[in-house]
Copies of this chain bind each other. A is one copy, B any other.
Amino acid sequence: MRFIKLTVSYDGTNFVGWQRQINGSTIQQKMEEAWLSISGETVTVTSSGRTDAGVHARGQVCSMRTETDFSCRTIVRAFNARTPTAISVLSAEEAFEGFNAISHSICKTYCYYIQSGRILDPLRERYAWFVPHQLDIEAMSQAAQYVVGEHDFACFQSTGSVRRSTVRNVMACTVSGRQRGPFQDIDFSVTADGFLYNMVRSIVGTLIPVGLGRQKPEWIRELIEQKDRELAGQTAPAKGLFLDHVIYADDASGGIHTKEPTSTTVGLDGSMG
């Protein structure tokens, strides 16, 4: 039995999310169907975290097991010949025995793109959230700093999720922006050891009142202390969200992993890492 680590990029627009489900097509389903057609094997392709409907990925990481002896190069080519153009396998590597893309991840980075200002750029409409106001990037950047650190992020968890712990460690959270002709582009990035359900989209939605000057940057700190999702901002739409990359203890694979699965990394529902 071999353990394979796959790095995958996808345009989530026309999928109902990562995870297999009854209604609608999913990235997991397309990958598992592709592998069945390649090898005759029925496998489970496990990702570092489920992405929701409409969320994109540049460097999602997946694990799978196989009895085949296809080279990693062949695995990449075979997947890409059988998946839709909205999904590409960027690389395949041999991983250590027992490699699991969820439980062995150290941290993940998500990016979120906002376009703001008076005028919408139609050529970014598919991949960015349009907020039709000029936003104060400096204030949003200050607010983002209050997210960094180990905190109880209950205020940024969508209701309905069941987690053993809502404490996560955010290593970095940045906001940058620029004027590009008539357009204002704002890039958000956050790296953490794990994310609660809708956490990134809740943080982004909560930065908007700060960018509009309706709340001070310190409001974010107060929200985190209050632990009440009702007080925070709206959930930003899926289309601006990209899973950028996932870090593992030994990215060259095949080596010794240094991190055991923990209760804060894997939720009871197994989602979002």
Contacts and interface: CB of A to CB of B under 8 A. Distances in A.
A182 B120 contact: no
Nearest to A86: B122
Nearest to A242: B123
A181 B90 contact: yes
A80 B242 CA distance: 27
Interface string A120-152: 111101110010000000000000000000000
A122 B11 contact: yes
How many chain A residues sit at the interface, stated as a range, is: 20 to 34
Contact of A121 (B76, B88, B91, B242): B88
Given A119-B76, A120-B80, A125 B11 contact: yes
Interface in A91-140: 91, 118-123, 125-127, 130
A90 B119 contact: yes
A123 B125 CA distance: 13
Given A85-B125, A125-B11, A125-B85, A182 B90 contact: yes
A80 B119 contact: yes
A58 interface: yes
Contacts of A90: 119, 181-182
Contacts of A91: 182
Nearest to A85: B125
Contact of A122 (B77, B88, B119, B121): B88
A9 interface: yes
A127 B123 contact: yes
Interface in A50-64: 56, 58
A240 to B, nearest CB: 13
A203 B58 CA distance: 31
Q: Which 4 A-B pairs have the closest CB atoms?
A: A11-B122, A86-B122, A90-B182, A85-B125
Interface of A: 9-11, 56, 58, 76-77, 80, 85-91, 118-123, 125-127, 130, 181-182, 242
Given A11-B122, A90-B182, 9 more contacts: A9-B121, A9-B122, A76-B119, A80-B119, A80-B120, A85-B125, A88-B120, A90-B119, A91-B182
